[in-house]
Structure formats: C-alpha cells, structure tokens
Amino acid sequence: MARTYRYKDMQLAQLRSFCLTARERNFTLAARQLGVSASTVWEQLRALERTLDCSLLRREGRSIELTPEGHVLLEIIQPHVEAIDSLKRLFDVGRAQLAPHLSIASSQYLLRFHLPEPIQEFTTTFPNVQLQIQLPSAQHLVSVVEQRTADIAICAFEPEEPRSDVLTYEPILELPLQLLTSKKHPLARKKVVELADLAQYPVILPAGGAIARKLIDRLLRRHNLTGRLQIVMEAPMFDITQQYVEMGVGVGLMHIKVPPKALDHLHAREMHESQTPLSIAMVVRRHGNLPQTVLDFQQIVRKTFADAR
C-alpha cells in the first residue's frame, strides 16, 4: 500500500517550522516555541523537502545544520514569515488609529421623534465617534445587524414571534395605535370613534410587510373589517402619511407617540379597541464582544427611555 502524506502542499506552518528550526538548530526547541510536538515539526519539514524535492537540513552531531538549498530557502522566505507573524500586531496598531464609529439603523419616524435626545447626548459625550445613520426598509432593519452592516437597530419587533438566534432584543418603548385625521374631518368632531367608523372613509395604512401593518391587519380581522376598508394608500413613512392626511386624501392609522405640536394641522386620537401596542427594541448581535461604542449608546438609550416612562 502506498504511503499517504499528511502535508501535500506547501503550508505556512511548514515554513514557520523551517525558519525556527534553522534558527534554533534543534527540533525540540523549535517545537516548544510553536506549541507542538517535535515529531510534528519533523513531519512538517520532511513534507516541505518532498514538495521542493531536495534536502534542507542535515544533522551535525547534536545540532541541525542547513544544506546549501536550505540556506537559499531561508533567505527567500524568512522576511515573508516574519511579516506574516507581525500582521496581527500591525493590524491592531492600525485599527487603533481609526476613528471609532457607530452605525445605527432605524426608521424615519423613530429617528425624528424618539432618538434625537439619546443621539444628541451620545455625540456630546463622545464627540470623536463618527455616527452613521441607516434607513433600511422595515423588512430589513434587523437583517442589517445580522449581516454586520449596522452595529445596532432601533426598530419594531413582535414579542411573541420567533427571532434570530444571533440577535438579542431589548424592549425600550411601546407605541399606541392612533387615528390621524384633518382637523375638519367628520371623525375629528366625533366624541367616540370605533374602527368600524373607518369603513366610511379612505384610509392610509403603513406599508405591507411592516410589523405595524401586520398588527393592524390582525386587528381588522378581529373586528371583521378585512376587505371592508377603502385603503387609498400604503405609506412607508410617517411624514408621508402626515402630509396626505393633512391634504384630505384619507385618514391615517398608525402606531405613534408624538408631542402635540408635531401634529399642529392634524387631529390624533388613540384607538382603544387596539390592545396591542407596537413594541420597539434595541437589537444587537448576541455572540461576541460588542464594541464599546455600542455599549455606550445602549446605556444612553436605556437612561433616556427609563426617564420618559
């Protein structure tokens, strides 16, 4: 039976073992520095010799000497092996010189109404950190953290739904379902508004696929209103809904909690038939150490929303 060899191609481990053995002139001393056995070093060097089809080392008494071919190889590869061995140290030094950064993914609504205070405090406390703001679609807010293109997401989530195994969710806020109408709309003057009343008017809803839309659709099914509403528009952002409600295109149904001055030209009321608010969470990767910038921002967000309760 033909003998099979463990090392079939030239490998960095073989070259590193060769350089150390040439320097120490001893298999055991080289193996000790590498954290392997002397037999492993010997096997690596024999494989290297087979690959190069020459003898690189020979015994001279109790020490190891280089052959002429060994001297040629050492002169060629030693600078490269030393450069590779210093790569981690050089990379760490270079990375330390980079400006720290924090990438936050969220929605236009949350960035406008709920995140200005913590972001302002963060930039004041850590002025050297470069902030990157991302506005993915509602369906991709979580995936940008999974894919490491954002450090943290502040977004809606469903507490009872399955979640990614690689992410952790920390609830920070709940948003009630609100009805938005122009101030002169008949529903603005009605003392009590029920969901069934919306069937008489065009309605603007959040974009399909968003968690907020899923909650609204479930609510409509529960009240036998599926297919009975005239959905005139699906809007992906609060500003769009606000503008077209003001214009009288339709009434808006969405989860918000904003100061009254932000709705100067609108009438807003909470829909008490909805007993399921929209949950907002901080989402980060579960495994591995989080960058200090993420930890600092999380702490500021926790304090901000704890004080707001």
**Residue among 285, 301, 238 at smallest CA distance from 143:** 285
d(CA 159, CA 217): 17
Instruction: Say what the pLDDT of residue 263 is.
Output: 85
Percent of the chain topping pLDDT 70 = 95
C-beta contacts of 41-49 below 8 A and 24+ residues apart:
41/17, 43/6, 43/7, 44/7, 44/11, 44/13, 44/14, 44/17, 44/18, 45/14, 45/17, 45/18, 45/21, 47/5, 47/6, 47/7, 47/8, 47/14, 48/7, 48/10, 48/14, 48/15, 48/18
What fold characterizes domain 12-94? Arc Repressor Mutant, subunit A (1.10.10)
Residues 3-58: tens digit of each pLDDT: 555 555 678 888 999 999 998 899 889 889 888 998 999 999 999 999 999 999 99
C-beta contacts of 301-308 below 8 A and 24+ residues apart:
301/118, 301/154, 301/172, 302/170, 302/172, 304/117, 304/118, 304/121, 305/172, 305/173
Looking at residues 91-108, what average pLDDT do you find? 83
DSSP per-residue string spanning 172-200: EEEE-EEEEEETTSHHHH-SS--GGGGGG
What pTM does this model have? 0.67
Instruction: Say what the pLDDT of residue 6 is.
Output: 57
Q: Please provide the CATH number assigned to the domain covering 101-173+281-308.
A: 3.40.190.10
Instruction: Say what the pLDDT of residue 93 is.
Output: 72
d(CA 132, CA 101): 7
Instruction: Say what the pLDDT of residue 81 is.
Output: 87
**Residue among 207, 256, 252 at smallest CA distance from 229:** 252
d(CA 30, CA 24): 6
What fold characterizes domain 177-276? D-Maltodextrin-Binding Protein; domain 2 (3.40.190)
Cα torsion 194, 195, 197, 198 to 10°: value is 140
101-173+281-308 and 177-276: identical CATH topology: yes
Residues 173-212: tens digit of each pLDDT: 999 999 999 999 999 999 999 999 999 999 999 998 889 9
Q: Which region among 167-171, 258-262, 269-273 has the lowest average model confidence (pLDDT)?
A: 258-262
Domain positions in the chain? 12-94, 101-173+281-308, 177-276
Token pair for 299: 């702490």
Of these ranges, 61-65, 82-86, 157-161, 266-270, the one predicted with the greatest mean pLDDT is: 266-270
**Secondary-structure breakdown of the chain: helix, strand, coil percentages, each rounded to the nearest 5:** 45, 20, 35
